[in-house]
Amino acid sequence: SQELEQSPQSLIVQEGKNLTINCTSSKTLYGLYWYKQKYGEGLIFLMMLQKGGEEKSHEKITAKLDEKKQQSSLHITASQPSHAGIYLCGADGQGAQKLVFGQGTRLTINP
Amino acid sequence: DTGVSQNPRHKITKRGQNVTFRCDPISEHNRLYWYRQTLGQGPEFLTYFQNEAQLEKSRLLSDRFSAERPKGSFSTLEIQRTEQGDSAMYLCASSPRGVLGTSGRGNEQFFGPGTRLTVL
- What confidence tier does B105 reach under pLDDT thresholds 50, 70, 90? low
Identity at A59, one-letter amino acid code: E
Q: Is the minimum CB–CB distance between A54 and chain B shorter than 8 Å? A: no
pLDDT score of A39: 85
Question: If you measure CA to CA, which chain A residue comes closest to B41?
Answer: A103
CB A61 within 8 A of CB A73: no
> pLDDT of B81-90, one tens digit each?
999 999 999 9
Q: With an 8 Å Cβ cutoff, are A97 and B4 in contact?
A: no
What pLDDT is attached to residue B94?
A: 95
Each residue's pLDDT tens digit, B60-79: 888 999 999 998 899 999 99
Chain B residues touching A45 at Cβ < 8 A: 108-111
Of A45, A50, A104, the CB nearest to B42: A104
State the nearest Cα–Cα gap between A15 and chain B, in angstroms.
24
Cα of B97 to nearest chain A Cα, Å: 9
Q: Is the pLDDT of residue B100 over 80?
A: no
Do the Cβ atoms of B99 and B28 come closer than 8 Å?
yes
pLDDT given for residue A60 in this prediction: 94
- Name the average pLDDT for chain B: 91
Which of A41, A99, A104 has its CB closest to that of B109? A99
Query: Is A42 in contact with B91 (Cβ distance < 8 A)?
Result: yes
Query: Do residues B96 and B79 make contact, with C-beta atoms less than 8 angstroms apart?
Result: no
DSSP codes of every residue in B9-62: SEEEE-TT--EEEEEE--TT--EEEEEEE-TTS--EEEEEEETTEEEEE-TTS-
Which residues of chain A make contact with B109, given a CB cutoff of 8 A?
A: 33, 45, 90, 99
pLDDT at B103: 46
Q: Do B113 and A50 touch (CB under 8 A)?
A: no
Closest CB to B110: pick one of A40, A45, A104.
Answer: A45
- Is any Cβ of chain B less than 8 angstroms from the Cβ of A42? yes
Convert the pLDDT of each residue in B2-34 to its tens digit: 799 999 999 999 999 999 999 999 998 999 999
Query: What string of pLDDT tens digits covers the 111 residues of chain A?
Result: 889 999 999 999 999 999 999 999 998 888 899 999 998 899 999 999 988 889 999 889 999 999 787 999 999 999 999 999 999 999 987 767 889 999 999 999 999
Nearest alpha carbon to residue B71 among B108, B30, B112, B10: B30
Q: Indicate whether B102 pLDDT > 60.
A: no
